[in-house]
Amino acid sequence: MNITIESNPLIDRLPPHLKQFIKPQDYEDYSSINQAVWRYVMRKNVSYLSKTAHESYINGLDRTGISIDTIPSMYGMNRILKDIGWAAVAVDGFIPPNAFMEFQAYKVLVIASDIRQLENMEYTPAPDIIHEAAGHAPIIANPDYAEYLRRFGEVGAKAILSSHDNDMYEAVRSLSILKEASNSTNEAIDEAEELVNTLQNKKVPLSEMAKIRNLHWWTVEYGLIGTLESPKIYGAGLLSSIGESKWCMTDEVEKRLYSIDAAETEFDITKPQPQLFVTPDFAYLMEVLEEFSNTMALRKGGFRGLQKLMDSKKIGSIELNTGLQISGVFTEMITDEDNNVVFFRTEGPTALANREKELIGHGTKANPNGFSSPIGKLKGISLAIEDMGPRDLKAYNFYDGKRIAFEYESGITVEGLNVTGIRNIYGKLILIEFEDCTVTYKDKVLFSPNQGTFRLAVGSSIVSAFAGSADFRSYDNLYHISSTETIKTEKNNSTIELEQLYSQVKQLRSTESTNSTNLDVVKNIFLTLQDNHSEDWLLPLELFELSATTNDEPLKVSILDHLERIKDKKPKIAHLIADGIALIQEHITD
């Protein structure tokens, strides 16, 4: 397949810390077996989902360039997605949750370009191109849903993780990789699954990211839409699972009205879901998202928001009431008796910003070893520093080139040489620099002159706290890339031969008729299959499809008998074979 790379401006404008996750799709790596798996799942899905999925799904398949017969090229998808204002990139399996959300905020679909093995056709915990391209992409052709996805990305990217979330991410990524690696041992898979179960069963408070991940799961991945009595499917996890998309419509799965309560409802990625949530329409999803946003540190700030950042041990940001934003790894805070934050500290590279733009000269290079500052109201002065006009600043000795000493209501004192100040667009001070400065609290020295220039953050309260950097340009490597890589297994001679047989069948299918020469090829392939690959079930189905329109009844009967023997030997996949035969016969009848 010849691929013409089509650029999409949305990809070009992604920040470096997201671009580091993008990898080539490597379309030629898809084997003929991979193509057959895609074709089977898509044919079965479209046949079933045309009756049970939201109308946007089938319409979206055409609009987003998703073919039923061949795995989509990311470049071809981008050419078409550009028309509806979106893009798609390939990544290596699961990526950090904040990064995943941020891609969505930029209207870029993250697509794990690997494809599930034949053995995991019905469901895999690993993100793959069936789930991502065939599940997510078609629905975004609906404008209301696309806007929900974008807005969800904006909010989700700011959600604060916990250290438990980090452990959970690594465990799920490892399990998904092992389950899709053909050479993985049962012992290794069981051990990885046990770790996931252990972490899932830990009774830890749900972080913001855990809650928003739950909302994402019960909508974007496993959402139903319509009425409780007669819902339709729109969640990508259901749209891409030929097993669960049927099971979810039975009475065995409880249907609940979607609400903010879904944020507290956890899920098990290794098992079918016992309950699902139904939204009346896509607009209602946005209402619940906004309701949840109001509970986040992004909107509430305060000591709880800062504590969440400290617990995460990752780069995060706070915003003061003056608009000054500080981004870094927060390690310490002091609070007063009313739990107001009166002092904070970061460690490592720290950047200062205002209105999401880094202050010139105050990036990570200016603060390589962290940043600290008291905040709050001054003792004995009713006017906050940020509210002082030029006359007030002069009256209280807050002007350049003068030594000054002052005390906060918290008891923190600052004494040093006032060098200069930085103002926001409204002319108000947001940062004051001091030399030869000492900051103390009770008997503790919080900053001493030998630490260099002291930068005082002007502000009395934290109005917002969120994950990531205020200005995305401040950090090149904002997100950690997992050291656990997907496993590429070497193909043995038997696999190579089987792939060649699949490839021959694919070529035969592309011809307009099954003539006598082609029929002889089909017979030879079938004989080789019986002798060397007797347990493979998908290729015999494709052979049956080729022979179904011929008058060679003995060949058709032989193939069906062979498939019946496989069904007897492998009862767990018998329904897949039966469904495949039914699809072929239905197609012939039509």
Burial of residue 372 (CB within 10 Å: 0-12, 13-18, 19+) is buried
For the chain, give the mean pLDDT: 89
The topology (CATH level 3) of 297-474 is SH3 type barrels. (2.30.30)
Domain definitions of the chain by residue range:
9-208, 297-474, 493-589
- Structure confidence at residue 244 (pLDDT): 83
Residue 135 in contact with residue 46, Cβ under 8 Å? no
Give percent of the chain with pLDDT exceeding 70. Answer: 94
pLDDT at 4 over 50: no
Q: Which tokens belong to 411?
A: 């008891």
- Structure confidence at residue 482 (pLDDT): 67
At the fourth CATH level, which superfamily is domain 9-208? Aromatic amino acid hydroxylase (1.10.800.10)
- Structure confidence at residue 68 (pLDDT): 87
Query: CA 247 to CA 238: how far, in whole Å?
Result: 10
- Give the pLDDT band of residue 515 (cuts 50, 70, 90): low
- Structure confidence at residue 264 (pLDDT): 95
Query: CA 327 to CA 312: how far, in whole Å?
Result: 13
- Structure confidence at residue 226 (pLDDT): 96
Query: CA 103 to CA 157: how far, in whole Å?
Result: 9
Q: Which tokens belong to 246?
A: 């049927």
CA 535 and chain centroid, separation: 36
Burial of residue 149 (CB within 10 Å: 0-12, 13-18, 19+) is buried
Strand 275-279 and strand 254-257: pairing?
Answer: parallel
- Give the pLDDT band of residue 372 (cuts 50, 70, 90): very high
Q: Is the CA virtual torsion 146, 147, 149, 150 positive or negative?
A: positive
Question: Taking CA 212 as the corner, what is the angle to CA 208 and CA 348, rounded to the nearest 5 degrees?
Answer: 45
pLDDT at 81 over 60: yes
Find residue 398's DSSP bridge partners. Answer: none
**How much is the pTM?**
0.85
Query: CA 351 to CA 359: how far, in whole Å?
Result: 8
- Structure confidence at residue 357 (pLDDT): 96
Q: Strand, coil or helix: what is 320?
A: strand
Please list, in sequence order, all residues whose beta carbon lies within 8 angstroms of the beta carbon of residue 506, skipping any fewer than 6 positions away.
32, 35, 36
Residue 18 in contact with residue 53, Cβ under 8 Å? no
- Structure confidence at residue 480 (pLDDT): 67
pLDDT at 400 over 80: no
Query: CA 453 to CA 447: how far, in whole Å?
Result: 10
The helix-helix angle for 32-52 and 574-589 (nearest 10°) equals: 70
Residue 115 in contact with residue 105, Cβ under 8 Å? no
**Exposure pattern of 482-494 as b/e (b: 16+ CB <10 Å)?**
bebebeeeeeeee
Q: Which tokens belong to 440?
A: 């103390």
Whole-angstrom CA distances from 251 to 45, 228, 257 are 20, 11, 15
- Structure confidence at residue 5 (pLDDT): 41
Burial of residue 83 (CB within 10 Å: 0-12, 13-18, 19+) is exposed
**Over the stretch 83-133, which tens digit does the pLDDT of each residue have?**
889 998 988 878 888 999 999 999 999 888 888 888 777 766 667 888 878
- Structure confidence at residue 530 (pLDDT): 94
Whole-angstrom CA distances from 492 to 55, 114, 470, 499 are 44, 19, 50, 11
- Structure confidence at residue 96 (pLDDT): 87
Rounded average pLDDT over 429-436: 94
**Over the stretch 193-250, which tens digit does the pLDDT of each residue have?**
888 888 878 888 899 999 999 999 999 999 999 999 999 999 988 888 877 888 899 9
Output phi, psi for 224, to 5 deg: -120, 155
